[in-house]
């Protein structure tokens, strides 16, 4: 079976929920006309990134928020992955990404690793997620990560041990430093990470980063799709809004996993024992 995917490298407007929702629905209609089965938007695609004190105003509660209802309705024709601010009991806000499928929210992932260093300040405004889970989708068992989560290799590893075949990563990665090269320095790092994860976990990696400018920040684009072999299937440009089309083929996944049965041979009991030993030693020392 093959699945047609659109990586929607858009530039949301900070805090303008109505405008951002319209952009999503326009892109969804365009993808449906092109015969796509799945469209993926970046991290916090419905709100913009540098929200700070706007976080409570932009939050959607549960699945009842008007933005989420609109995306759920649109997902009757095509699966949709998008990002938003989620309010949970106790007025805790999460940087959340979710997959809308067949008219409902089929899966959500709350960002676990919140960067609060250098130019980033997410820990002041968001609560951290606490789980990594996969879900069943028409294109295969799928896991989702949000930006910084991807840089912690345990995140992808845990999803792979729960049967992940497709990994979706949504991001708001800015340009940090420029040189004479035609691409932002961080683009090669993101692509290299995607190729390594795809190859060693024998899964598809679909990465969507936002484009454009926000509050003086420039976002790097560079969305991509990588096959389970580690081969780059499609790649977007830098900074500009763009739609990247790619087709996933489950026969390729089976072929690679047959040739390289890395997941089959993984020793989970050994990993668990060694992690328990390391954790006990570390926390005893503290």
Q: What is the pLDDT of residue 65?
A: 86
CA atoms within 13 A on the CB side of 199: 10
CATH H-level superfamily of 2-285: Carbon-nitrogen hydrolase (3.60.110.10)
Q: Are strands 213-214 and 104-110 parallel, antiparallel or unpaired?
A: unpaired
Q: Write out the DSSP string of 46-111.
A: TT-S--GGGHHHH-EETTTSHHHHHHHHHTTTSEEEEEEEEEETTTEEEEEEEEEETTEEEEEEE-
What are 154's two structure tokens?
Answer: 């345990």
What are 99's two structure tokens?
Answer: 């997959």
Q: What is the pLDDT of residue 284?
A: 83
Q: What is the pLDDT of residue 240?
A: 75
Mean pLDDT of 146-167: 98
Distance from C-alpha of 240 to C-alpha of 174, rounded to nearest angstrom: 13
Q: What is the pLDDT of residue 194?
A: 98
**154: alpha, beta or left, given left = phi > 0 and alpha = psi -120 to 50?**
alpha
Distance from C-alpha of 89 to C-alpha of 80, rounded to nearest angstrom: 25
Distance from C-alpha of 163 to C-alpha of 106, rounded to nearest angstrom: 17
Share the mean pLDDT of the chain.
94
Check the CA dihedral 65-80-25-10 and report its sign. Answer: positive
Q: What pLDDT, in 10s, does the model give residues 208-264?
A: 999 999 999 999 899 999 999 999 999 998 867 899 999 999 999 999 999 999 999
Mean pLDDT of 4-26: 98
Comparing 238 with 148, the larger pLDDT belongs to: 148
Lowest-confidence segment of 105-114, 125-134, 214-223 by average pLDDT: 214-223
What are 275's two structure tokens?
Answer: 């992690």
pLDDT band at 179 (very low <50, low <70, confident <90, very high): very low
* pTM score of the predicted model: 0.95
For residue 14, is pLDDT > 80?
yes
Q: What pLDDT, in 10s, does the model give residues 56-80?
A: 999 999 888 899 999 999 999 999 9
Residue ranges of alpha helices (H) inside the chain are 17-33, 55-58, 66-74, 153-161, 185-201, 250-259, 268-285
Domain spans in the chain, listed from the N-terminal domain onward: 2-285
């Amino acid at each position: 079976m093959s699945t047609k995917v659109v990586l929607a490298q858009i530039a949301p407007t900070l805090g303008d929920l109505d405008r951002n929702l319209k952009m999503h629905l326009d892109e969804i209609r365009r993808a449906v006309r092109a015969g796509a089965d799945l469209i993926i938007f970046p991290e916090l695609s419905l709100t913009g990134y540098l929200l700070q004190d706007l976080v409570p105003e932009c939050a959607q509660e549960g699945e009842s928020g008007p933005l989420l209802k609109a995306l759920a309705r649109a997902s009757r024709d095509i699966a949709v992955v998008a990002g938003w601010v989620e309010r949970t009991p106790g007025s805790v806000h999460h940087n959340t990404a979710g997959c809308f499928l067949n008219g409902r929210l089929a899966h959500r992932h709350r960002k676990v690793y919140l960067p609060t260093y250098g130019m980033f300040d997410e820990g002041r405004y968001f609560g951290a997620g606490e789980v990594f889970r996969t879900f069943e989708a028409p294109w295969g068992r799928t896991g989702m990560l949000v930006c910084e989560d991807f840089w912690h290799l345990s995140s992808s590893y845990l999803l792979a041990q729960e049967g992940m075949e497709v990994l979706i990563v949504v991001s708001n990665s800015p340009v940090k430093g420029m040189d004479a090269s035609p691409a932002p320095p961080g683009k090669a790092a993101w692509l290299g990470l995607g190729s390594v994860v795809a190859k060693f976990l024998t899964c598809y990696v679909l990465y969507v980063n936002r484009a454009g400018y926000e509050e003086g920040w420039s976002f790097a684009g560079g969305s991509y799709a990588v096959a389970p072999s580690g081969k780059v299937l499609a790649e977007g440009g830098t900074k500009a809004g763009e739609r990247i089309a790619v087709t996933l083929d489950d026969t390729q996944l089976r072929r690679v996993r047959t040739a390289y049965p890395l997941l089959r041979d993984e020793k989970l009991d050994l990993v668990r024992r060694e992690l328990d030993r390391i954790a006990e030693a570390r926390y005893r020392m503290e």
